[in-house]
Every structure is written in structure tokens, then in C-alpha cells.
């Protein structure tokens, strides 16, 4: 996963290591379905899923085809890494408070829930044979989304202090989205 390089000519689509993980999981579920060491497999899934997330994000960062507003926050982080003081980031035209509000406005809670619902359906489609695997994956995804949410909120707090700008949904909202989506399917 860590060695994947995407050429500029390749089309947007599912990365090979993601489908490889799905195939691995299907085979592992067949082999370990009733095994004594089933718990070890579930622990391994957590690490593998985290690696999938990290490397999908890495490939997206390196890709020319990633939408501009998806990595707005990475641009903020890049400015800080280049030596711009955190409290001065908001004075840069591409990363001012108005641009931050635009990015946040594109992701209201309703849209986030809709996106998560679509994501659940895709994951379910690939993992429908094994119910417990779906639960493990969904829980890991929830943890990763919450981690990213906290990271973005922290970044906003440090780089836009006193602005009062926050996401249009809370962690509690997100937990409810994950829960209601899982229960409705």
C-alpha cells in the first residue's frame, strides 16, 4: 500500500490495494470464520483498515485530480509547515476566514450523513457475506472520521482563533449519523 504510485494518466477509481484488501478480507473470513484465533484476525483488521485509510489519503494528496476543497486544511497545514505563524494563516487570501466558511458550508450535516450512507452501502456491498467484518470496518471508519474531525477543529482553533468558525455538525451529530445508518441497513 505504501509503495503505490498513481500515474497522471490513470483514471479516478478504486485503488488496487483497496480491492486487494476486500479480496483478502473475503478469503480471511472464509478461513477464520469459526477459528479459535478469530479475535486475532479482528485485531489485524483494525491495523489494516487504518493503513488503507492513511494510504488512500496519501495517494489523494499526491494526486492532481483531488478536488480543491477536500484538502483546504492540508493547505493550511502546509503554510504552517513553511513557517507561517498559525495565527497569520487567516490573513493569506487563499486561506482567509471567508474561504474557510465556504469550505465548511459545502459540508453541512445533511450532506455528510448522505455521504456516509453512500459509503456504508459501498462497504456493505463488498462485505455483505460477513456481518461482523462490516461492523469492524464501520467502527474503524467512525473512529477515523472522529479523529479527522478533531484534527480539523483543532486546526481551526489554532489558525483562526476567536473567529467562532466551527463545522456545521458536531461529533455527537456524527456519532448519531454512524449509528442511525448502521441501524437502518
Residue pair 17/49 in contact by the 8 Å Cβ criterion? no
Residue 120 falls inside a structural domain: yes
Give domain status of residue 31, yes or no: yes
Please check whether residue 3 lies inside any domain of the structure: no
Tell me the residue range of the domain where 71 lies. Answer: 12-184
pTM over cut 0.75 = no
* 4 domain residue, yes or no: no
Count of domains in the chain?
A: 1
pLDDT band at residue 68, thresholds of 50, 70 and 90?
Answer: low
Is 115 domain-assigned? Answer: yes
Q: Name the CA dihedral angle for 175, 14, 42, 38, rounded to a multiple of 10 degrees.
A: 140
The answer to whether residue 6 is domain-embedded is: no
> Does residue 25 fall inside a structural domain?
yes
- Compute the C-alpha angle 44/47/53, nearest 5°: 135
User: Quick check: helix, strand or coil at residue 5?
Assistant: coil
pLDDT tens per residue, range 3-33: 766 666 555 567 778 888 888 888 988 888 8
Q: Is residue 148 part of a domain?
A: yes
Q: What does the pLDDT read at residue 29?
A: 87
Amino acid at each position: 500500500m505504501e509503495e503505490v504510485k498513481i500515474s497522471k494518466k490513470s483514471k479516478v477509481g478504486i485503488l488496487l490495494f483497496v480491492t486487494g484488501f476486500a479480496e483478502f478480507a473475503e478469503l480471511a473470513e472464509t478461513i477464520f470464520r469459526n477459528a479459535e484465533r478469530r479475535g486475532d484476525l479482528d485485531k489485524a483488521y483494525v491495523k489494516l483498515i487504518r493503513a488503507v485509510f492513511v494510504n488512500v489519503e496519501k495517494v489523494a494528496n499526491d494526486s492532481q485530480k483531488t478536488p480543491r476543497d477536500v484538502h483546504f486544511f492540508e493547505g493550511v497545514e502546509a503554510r504552517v509547515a513553511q513557517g507561517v505563524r498559525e495565527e497569520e494563516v487567516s490573513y493569506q487570501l487563499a486561506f482567509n476566514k471567508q474561504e474557510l466558511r465556504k469550505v465548511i458550508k459545502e459540508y453541512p450535516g445533511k450532506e455528510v450523513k448522505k455521504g456516509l450512507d453512500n459509503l456504508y452501502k459501498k462497504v456493505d456491498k463488498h462485505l455483505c457475506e460477513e456481518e461482523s467484518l462490516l461492523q469492524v470496518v464501520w467502527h474503524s471508519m467512525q473512529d477515523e472520521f472522529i479523529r479527522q474531525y478533531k484534527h480539523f477543529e483543532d486546526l481551526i482553533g489554532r489558525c483562526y482563533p476567536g473567529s467562532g468558525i466551527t463545522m456545521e455538525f458536531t461529533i455527537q451529530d456524527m456519532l448519531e449519523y454512524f449509528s442511525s445508518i448502521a441501524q437502518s441497513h
